[in-house]
C-alpha cells in the first residue's frame, strides 16, 4: 500500500491520510511529551514556520512505546504541545511505531535506511522521515539529529526545489 493511501486519524480522531498532504514535502516524526528530546519540538516548529509557506509540513505521531514518555490523552498532548511549544503543525493519533501493533505508516517508513544504510525499528522518540511531495520517502534521520541540523535542512530544501 502506498504511504499516501494508508488510513490514519488526526489527534482529534478525524479520518485522514498522508495523501491529504500530497504535493507537500513532509517531515514525519514520532513525538513524545516527557522525553529528554522533547525540546526538539522547538526546532520542528521553527522548520514549520520557515518552510510552511513553501509546501512543507511537519507531521507528528505521538508514541508511548519508549519508557512511557507519551502517557497523555489526545487532549493532554494537544494542550502540552500548544502551550509549551506553540506547535502549529498537524499531530496525528497516538500510535505504535514498533512491534506487533506497529502502525502501517511506520511499517512503510521503517523499511527506509538512514544515511549509514540501517533500516528497521525506530530507535527512540523523535526519529524523522522526509517524504517528498509525491509520497516517496527520501530521508531518515535518527532521534539525536536535531531538526535544524544542516543534513535535514539541506534535504528539505532539495525536496522543495525538486
Spatial separation of the C-alpha atoms in residues 94 and 10, rounded to whole Å? 9
Q: How many structural domains are present in the chain?
A: 1
- Return the active site residues: 35
**pTM flag (> 0.95):** yes
Residues of the domain holding 138: 3-161
**Contact 40/46 with Cβ under 8 angstroms?**
no
| pLDDT score, position 144 | 97
| pLDDT score, position 162 | 84
Which stretches of 5-149 are assigned E, i.e. beta strand?
A: 7-9, 15-17, 25-31, 56-62, 128-131, 137-141
Indicate which CATH number applies to the domain containing 19. Answer: 3.40.30.10
Q: Mean of the pLDDT values across residues 98-122?
A: 96
What tens digit of pLDDT does each residue of 50-95 get? 999 999 999 999 999 999 999 999 999 999 999 999 999 999 999 9
Collapsed DSSP state (helix, strand, coil) of residue 37: coil
Look up residue 82 and give its three cell numbers.
Answer: 500548544
Q: Is residue 43 over pLDDT 80?
A: yes
| pLDDT score, position 1 | 58
Amino acid at each position: 500500500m502506498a504511504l499516501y493511501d494508508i488510513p490514519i486519524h488526526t489527534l482529534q480522531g478525524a479520518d485522514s491520510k498522508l495523501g491529504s498532504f500530497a504535493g507537500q514535502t513532509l517531515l514525519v516524526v514520532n513525538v513524545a511529551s516527557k522525553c529528554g528530546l522533547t525540546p526538539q519540538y522547538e526546532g520542528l516548529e521553527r522548520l514549520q514556520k520557515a518552510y510552511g509557506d513553501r509546501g512543507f509540513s511537519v507531521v507528528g505521531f505521538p508514541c508511548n512505546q519508549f519508557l512511557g514518555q507519551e502517557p497523555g490523552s489526545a487532549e493532554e498532548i494537544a494542550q502540552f504541545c500548544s502551550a509549551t511549544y506553540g506547535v502549529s503543525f498537524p499531530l496525528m493519533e497516538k500510535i505504535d511505531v514498533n512491534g506487533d501493533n506497529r502502525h502501517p505508516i511506520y511499517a512503510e517508513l521503517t523499511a527506509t535506511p538512514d544515511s549509514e544504510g540501517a533500516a528497521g525499528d525506530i530507535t527512540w522518540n523523535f526519529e524523522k522521515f522526509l517524504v517528498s511531495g509525491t509520497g516517496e520517502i527520501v530521508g531518515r534521520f535518527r532521534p539525536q539529529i536535531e531538526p535544524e541540523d544542516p543534513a535535514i535542512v539541506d534535504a528539505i530544501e532539495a525536496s522543495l526545489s525538486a
